[in-house]
Amino acid sequence: MSKITIIGAGSAVFAFEIITDLLLTPALETGVIALVDIDSQRLELAHRIAEKAIAATGREGKWRVEASTDRKTVLPGTDYLINTIEVAGLANVRHDFDIPMKYGVNQCIGDTIGPGGIFKALRTLPAWIDILRDTEQLAPGALVMNYTNPMSLTCLAGLRASTLPIVGLCHSIQNTAQQLAEYLGVPHHELKYRAAGINHLAWLVELTRDGEDMYPLLREKAKDPAIYEQDPVRFEMMLHLGAFVTESSGHTSEYTAYFRKRPDLIDKYMRPEYLGETGFYANNWPRWRQESDEWIGRMLRDEEPLTLERGPEYASYIVEAMETDKPTVIYGNVLNTHLITNLPQDGVVEVRCLVDRDGIQPTHFGALPTQLAALDAGHMAVHDLVSTAVLEGNREAAFYALMLDPLTAAVCSPAEIRQMFDEMSRVQAPYLPDWMQG
Supply the DSSP string of 308-320, one letter for each residue. Answer: ----S-SHHHHHH
CB of 243 closer than 8 Å to CB of 203: yes
Q: Which CATH architecture has domain 90-113+170-278+327-438?
A: Alpha-Beta Complex (3.90)
Predicted confidence (pLDDT) at residue 267 exceeds the cutoff of 90: yes
Question: Buried (b) or exposed (e) across 368-392, using 16+ Cβ within 10 A?
Answer: beeebbebbbbbbebbbbbbbbbbe
Alpha carbons within 13 A on the beta-carbon side of 44: 3
What residues pair up with 60 in beta bridges, in sequence order?
63
Residue count of the chain: 438
pTM over 0.95? The answer is yes
Asked whether the predicted pLDDT for residue 1 surpasses 90, the reply is no
* Given the residues 47, 95, 171, 200, the one annotated as active site: 171
CATH 3.40.50.720 residue ranges for the chain: 2-89+114-169+302-319
Could you read off the pLDDT of 152-191 as tens digits, one per residue? 999 999 999 999 999 999 999 999 999 999 999 999 999 9
Q: Strands, E, within 235-365: which ranges? A: 244-245, 328-335, 348-356, 359-362
Amino acid, res. 53: A
Sequence ranges of the chain with CATH classification 3.90.110.10: 90-113+170-278+327-438
pLDDT mean over 126-135: 98
pLDDT of residue 11: 85
Whether residue 171 lies in the annotated active site: yes
pLDDT digits (tens, 9 = 90+) for 11-22: 878 999 999 999
- pLDDT tens-digit map of 355-376: 999 999 999 999 999 999 999 9
CB 151 within 8 A of CB 333: yes
Report how far apart, in Å, the C-alpha atoms of 2 and of each of 62, 79, 139 are. Answer: 11, 6, 12
Say yes or no: domain 2-89+114-169+302-319 is CATH 3.40.50.720. Answer: yes
